[in-house]
Amino acid sequence: MFGSLKALPADPILGLLAKYRTDENPQKIDLGVGVYKDESGHTAILDCVKAAEQHRFKTEDTKVYIGPTGSPLFNDEMSKLIFGDHKVLSENRARTVSTPGGTGALRVAAEFISSCKTGATIWVSNPTWANHTGLFQASGLNVKTYPYYDYENKDLDFDGMLTALKQVGKDDAVLLHACCHNPSGMDLNREQWQQVVEVAKERGFTPLIDMAYQGFGDGLDEDAYGLRLMADNVKQMLVASSCSKNFGLYRERIGACTIIGESAASTDIANSVLLSVVRCIYSMPPAHGAAIVETILSSDELRQQWYGELKEMRDRINGNRQLLVDKLVEQGITRDFSFITRQKGMFSFLGITPEQVQRLQDEFSIYMVDSSRVSIAGIANKNVDYLAQSIAKVL
């Protein structure tokens, strides 16, 4: 059976990470992997997470299954984090289940869409997170793209996006990034969200909103603005959320999939299908990460501590954007890189060629993917001068 298999290429980001680890250059810089790093280049455990884990170690008394939905407390706290005091909660029109990370949430949502309509089409932004397309195709969905990022002008191609969305069918789904667009960092503003919502109402398609970075853009509530506005105006939608970045729980693999229906009764029916999907994929979600998150969110003290640590991460990323632009100017580079400061979250395209990206790797041990997407958190005061000098040389 295995004899007919052919080797598939490795994930480009994981391949970069492997090369980075074996590189002996003391000035090497990793701008590929999408995880938060502090000034020393370390991804530390949040203090609020350590406190929540200590509480769990003292109070956990069983390892029995928690059921396909996961922890009810986690699901409730995540629903409030995502929607605030939104009417979908007061009207009992939202159901949330725990999932193995944000990727698990997306796969559950994709399989649910496929259950609603075999071979359904889902539209994703061009560009989008590299795993979106493969994940959706593996669920039996037909993937199409809508314009999103204007590479030439380093800006949002909003006119192209809106024109494409006006052609989407009512039985289609559309993936939208809630905030901190991966990989471009270019987000919709509030006026643009309003226009997208109006198109969604008019066309009747089902929005699937991916929120992997809530709190990394402008703030927890600010980053959920578009998602909540959409929920104000459409009868049904899906949300995939992740706790990997904002809680720093990368390896714990905990996220959530939320479904919103037109009424409490119709949402219950949809939720029964969602739970059947869960049962057939992984049966029960992991418990440890959910327990950490629910402990933090249900404790006034730990929640406040988390707010502070999240703000520190957000401020550092935003500061790194301005820092890099300033250092590029200091190097005498005349090309305008100010677009970097107008973007949000972990990522940005530098807008340099694949050949220049390769030179940065070969000659200066600076690692990023061919598209010139960089992880802003990999920049630090100790490496930014070397980074700016190297970019100047390849330009």
CA-to-CA distance for 90 and 166, rounded, in angstroms?
31
Residue 103 contacts residue 135 (beta carbons within 8 Å): yes
* Residue 129 designated active-site: yes
- 150 strand-pairing partners: 155
Residue 189 contacts residue 355 (beta carbons within 8 Å): no
| Pair type for strands 366-367 and 347-349 | unpaired
Residues in the chain: 395
Helix (H, G, I), strand (E, B) or coil at 82: helix
Name the nearest CA neighbour of 205 among 135, 128, 86, 122: 122
CA-to-CA distance for 216 and 312, rounded, in angstroms?
10
Name the nearest CA neighbour of 98 among 135, 116, 72: 72
* Residue 245 designated active-site: yes
Catalytic residue among 30, 157, 187, 210: 210
Q: Positive or negative, the Cα torsion across 179, 181, 184, 186?
A: negative
Residue 180 contacts residue 216 (beta carbons within 8 Å): yes
Catalytic residue among 30, 37, 123, 129: 129
- What's the count of helices (H) and strands (E) in the chain, helices before strands? 15, 13
CA-to-CA distance for 318 and 29, rounded, in angstroms?
19
Beta strands in the chain (DSSP E): 29-30, 94-99, 121-126, 142-147, 149-150, 155-156, 173-177, 206-211, 237-242, 255-260, 347-349, 366-367, 373-375
Catalytic residue among 37, 245, 327, 344: 245
* Residue 123 designated active-site: no
Q: What is the DSSP string of 91-121?
A: TT-EEEEEESHHHHHHHHHHHHHHHHSTT-E
Q: What is the DSSP string of 249-318?
A: -GGG--EEEEEE-SSHHHHHHHHHHHHHHHHHHTSS--SHHHHHHHHHHT-HHHHHHHHHHHHHHHHHHH
| Pair type for strands 142-147 and 121-126 | parallel
Task: State the catalytic residues.
Answer: 129, 210, 245
